[in-house]
Structure 1
Amino acid sequence: MAKELVVPLAPNVWRIPLVRDLVNGFILRDDDGQVTLVDMGVKSSGPKVLAALGAIGSAPSDVTRQVLTHAHPDHAGGAAHVARETGRGFTVHHDDAAYAAEGSSPPRDRSFLLGRLFERFSRPGRDFEPLAVEREMTDGEVLPVAGGLRVVHTPGHSPGHVSLLHEESRTLITGDAIFNVVGLRWPVKAFCTDFRMTQRTAHVLGELDYDLAAFTHGAELRDRPREAIRRFLGSHRTD
């Protein structure tokens, strides 16, 4: 296995470092070889996702599901490239599905100057290449992925932002609810649709059970991750 292309997290679960550890995707593989991809990084990341498949001995034809935690260009930018190779559409939360289909980011938080600037320059089909949405997921459902992948709706960063809990390996994928870049931190405020909502809904991550926390921005936490996330959330309480 080419270690630089994938980072093993648990049996049949890998992180794909798409821009070093700063932007990550994930692979989950069923015992029968079916593969699920989660997040495809920036526009240039598509080939890295495909190379990561090869590194674990899988092929694009093994991919049966492609999931986006949300419709932002650093997660969906490489998605169209991957889709052309796998022939698969995308599973996205209902509240982000229309944005993924038109290739646009959801609204930014206009209470911040930078958010208003991003909003001004966002155009349908210009943020990332439009995607085929083949399934809309909902909060609490368990996707039939590698023993069960639970959808945890954590809106705020985007309306349909989700975190994902792989129940068999007890691995949490936080999405952009929380970053782990130079320590645990909130996502950039101006990138959120509603930053205050992001803070409120992330608290559900402290109530879940998991042994490893994986982040779409930053390296994973393997040592008592639930306790670390609960400490972070406890020190950043909202009204």
Structure 2
Amino acid sequence: MARDLVVPLAPGVWRIPLLGDFFNGFVLRDDDGQVTLLDMGVARSGPKVMAALGAIGAGPSDVTRLLLTHAHPDHAGGAAHVARETGRSVEIHEDDVEHARTGTSPPRDRSLRLGRLLDRLAKGSFDPVPVERGLVDGELLDVAGGLRVIHTPGHSPGHASFLHEPTGTLVTGDAIFNVRGVRWPVASFCTSYAMTKATAHRLVEVDHALAAFTHGPELRDRPRQTITDFLHREGHLEG
């Protein structure tokens, strides 16, 4: 296995380092060989996502599902390429569906000066992608034994994290980063920075054995406690 293309996280689950550990996508494989891809990085990351399939002994015809945590160009940018190569449409939380279909980022936080500036500059920020349907909070997807949708809005209206229940692997998306330690995402990139903080408690309400981040390396040692401690320090978790 080409370990520089994929990082094993748990049985049937891999991380795809798309720009070192800083931008990540993920692969999940069913026992019958069906493959699900989750987040596809920036536009130039599409071929790297496809190369990762070969690293686990799979190919484009094995891909049966494409998922996105949210409709930002560093997550959805490579999705158009992957959709063309696999012939599959994307699934994303229903509140981000129209943004994915039109290739436009959700609004930035208007309470922040930089957020207002980014809003004015953001025009057609990634190639539109075909969307099969919108996901809803709490839905259990038939992916590799069960992938739970956890709506964690704030970074975008439809931002979702995902819990792979059989292995306890939590993909946080951009609800929280692990870049030089656990931290919040960049405030001005959020639709509502306050809501991002207010909904992060959902990450520790589910039991997980490994926390995987779309920005930063995974946490394998007591990840739930590490995130809990961070939220306590930040004043966003009671008890």
Task: Return the TM-score normalized by structure 1.
Answer: 0.98
Q: Which amino acid is the alignment partner of residue 154 of structure 2?
A: G
1:52 partner SS: helix
Aligned partner of 1:131: which letter? Answer: V
Report how far residue 112 of structure 1 moved: 1.2
Letter in 2 for 1:185: R
Q: Cα RMSD between the aligned structures?
A: 0.8
- Divergent runs of 4+, >3 A: none
- Kept in 2: contact 1:34–1:64 (CA 8 A): yes
User: Which residue of structure 2 aligns with residue 203 of structure 1?
Assistant: 201
Q: Distance in 1 between matches of 2:223 and 2:51?
A: 29
Contact map agreement 1:71 1:100 (CA 8 A) in 2 = yes
**Cα deviation digits, residues 113-145 of structure 1 (max 9, x gap):** 11111100112xx20000110021100010000
Q: Secondary structure at the match of 1:237?
A: coil
TM superposition shift of 1:238: 4.2
Aligned letter for 1:180?
N
Alignment correspondent of 1:41: 41
- 2:51 matched residue in structure 1: 51
2:143 match: secondary structure: coil
Q: Which residue does 2:188 correspond to in 1? A: 190
Residue 25 of structure 1: CA displacement?
0.2
Aligned position for 2:233: 235
Per-residue deviation, 1:95: 0.1
Distance in 2 (alpha carbons) for counterparts of 1:207 and 1:81:
35
Q: Helix, strand or coil for the counterpart of 1:82?
A: helix
| Structure 1 alignment gaps of length 5 or more | none
Partner of 1:61: 61
Aligned to 1:174: 172
| 3-state SS, counterpart of residue 18 of structure 1 | strand
Whole-Å separation in 2 of the counterparts to 1:106 and 1:134: 19
The unaligned stretches of length 5 or more in structure 2 are none
Secondary structure at the residue paired with 1:115? helix
Q: Percent identity?
A: 68
The CA distance in 2 between the partners of 1:238 and 1:152, in whole Å, is 18
Structure 2 distance, partners of 1:101, 1:182, is 34
* Paired residue type of 1:3: R
For residue 93 of structure 1, what is the aligned residue in structure 2? 93
The 8 Å contact of residues 41 and 78 in structure 1, kept in 2 or not, is answered as yes
Q: What's the counterpart of residue 218 of structure 1?
A: 216
Residues 5-53 of structure 1 deviation map (CA, whole Å, 9 limit, x = unaligned):
0000000100000011000000000000000000000111001000000
Tell me the residue number matched to 1:164.
Answer: 162
Kindly tell me the number of residue pairs found equivalent between the two proteins: 237
- Deviation of 1:204 after TM superposition, in Å, equals 1.1
1:27 aligned onto 2:8: no
Question: Alpha-carbon deviation of 1:207?
Answer: 1.3
Whether the 8 Å contact between 2:190 and 2:196 is mirrored in structure 1 is yes
* In structure 1, C-alpha distance between the alignment counterparts of 2:53 and 2:236, rounded to whole Å: 40
Equivalence for 2:4: 4
Q: Secondary structure at the match of 1:223?
A: coil
* Partner residue in 2 for 1:138: 136
